[in-house]
Chain A
Amino acid sequence: MAASDRSGPVADAAVADLEAIRVQLDREIRRALLRLNTAPGEDTLVKQQGRVAAQVASQIDATMKAKGLKAITGVLRDRAIESALAALGGVDLPVSVVTEIDAIVKSQTADIANVFGDASSTIRKAIALGTTTSASLSDLIEGVAGAIGTSVTRAQAAVDASVMAAGRTAVIRAATEAADGLVDLVYLYSGPKDSRNRPFCRMHVGKALTESGIAQANNGQGLPVDAFAGGYNCRHVWSPITLAEARRRGIEILE
């Protein structure tokens, strides 16, 4: 059954939070840069590079601490739970699924924090490039804004990956529960087959895995295959199908 990026009222709140952070960072950093550029006694950006970079990095830290991760974590959990609920057709979530989702959200939140940690150094590089190439202040500001935008896009990808992972996990748990004692199910590795596929996805797409096959599979990224399929930001999802139907259709089954 379904997988991944579905939602409701809470749906894109995590993404909206990230966008709000981007806007705030952009505004504050522009202010910092403009203020420094006009400070008396200092006439070039080169002299101020260290100070600019330090200020920018502290702005990122302050903004993230003030309204970033905490808000995102809460919304992300709601969103992931919602995704899982949809996968279960609106029935109550077993405690085990909630626990798994909490673990996914925790690891993904760490990823988002890392993204913004990386942003600090990316923005320092943008400032260094702007100052050493004697770019104009507006070019420098655009460069920094671009670096912030890239970081937010990466953080959005982490949010998407987290929601996808919760959906995949719930699909397998829901299917296991629905089929228990009635019929044997396998899980079709479903999604696009193209030159963008990772080796793991290329090897599995169009084939079906048993639950133990999924547990043993290794996507090479250290991420659980039931939740993350081929890895971070994977496009593939699980489609449950009866073992007998898979055999009738000639689908290869990996145990």
Chain B
Amino acid sequence: MSIVVTRSGGPPRVPMERIAKLVATLAPGLIRERTGEGIDVKDRPFKRYSRDYLLAKTSAGRNPGVNLTVTNGLLGSVAAVSVVVTEQGFTIVIAPGAGTSAATRFVDGVAKRTGKRSPTHSVLGAIHHYGRGQMPARPWLALSPKDMASLMRQLLDAGIAIPLRGR
């Protein structure tokens, strides 16, 4: 996903580069928190986990919520991977990383490391986002309307009022 700001009117009081850095600092956490609470990009609850997966996950002492999390490697990797500032505004691309986590499997009520690595977080994120096979789509990688409102409020806290657009 990306956040785009188009400047209009006079020069901003705060340099655009600093505004961009602040947005890049704040936005990934909003996605992480919302997803961790089981809410999708339209501020609706994610589709439920299958009964078998839920049973395995809860038996291993993990949070029963649909939070796309076991090791937290995926959500923890979400970052502003690119910040481009131009005369017209800035564009920030937010995405999961291309790294991996230790692959785990639920065995006898324990999440055990298999010794292998997970798919890259970017691939894992896309699988969750778009769904695959019997696994339903759980769109998570974007700023939801509530995320966007929170981001705007936080910028106002810093005395910055600018139009943001997520896509």
Q: Judge whether B73 and A182 touch: CB under 8 Å.
A: no
Q: How many chain B residues touch A (Cβ–Cβ < 8 Å)?
A: 54
Interface residues of B (CB under 8 A from A): 14, 18, 20-22, 24-30, 32-33, 36, 60-63, 67, 69, 71-73, 75-83, 92, 96-102, 111, 113, 115, 117, 120-121, 150, 153-154, 157-160
Q: Judge whether A86 and B76 touch: CB under 8 Å.
A: no
What is the distance, in angstroms, from B112's C-beta to the closest C-beta of chain A? 10
Interface residues of A (CB under 8 A from B): 1-8, 11-12, 15, 83, 86-87, 89-91, 149, 152-153, 156-157, 160, 163-164, 167, 174-175, 177-179, 182-183, 185, 188, 190-196, 235-237, 239-245, 248
Chain B contact residues: helix, strand, loop or mixed: mixed
Interface pairs A-B: 4 shortest CB-CB: A6-B97, A239-B29, A2-B79, A7-B99
Cα separation A183 to B102 with both chains bound (whole Å): 37
Partner of B25, one of A3, A12, A178: A178
Q: Judge whether B79 and A6 touch: CB under 8 Å.
A: yes
Q: Judge whether B36 and A91 touch: CB under 8 Å.
A: no
Across the interface, which residues of A come within 8 angstroms of B18, CB to CB? 178, 182
What is the distance, in angstroms, from B83's C-beta to the closest C-beta of chain A? 4
Across the interface, which residues of A come within 8 angstroms of B81, CB to CB? 6, 86, 89-90
Q: Judge whether A3 and B21 touch: CB under 8 Å.
A: no
Partner of B61, one of A149, A167, A190, A195: A195
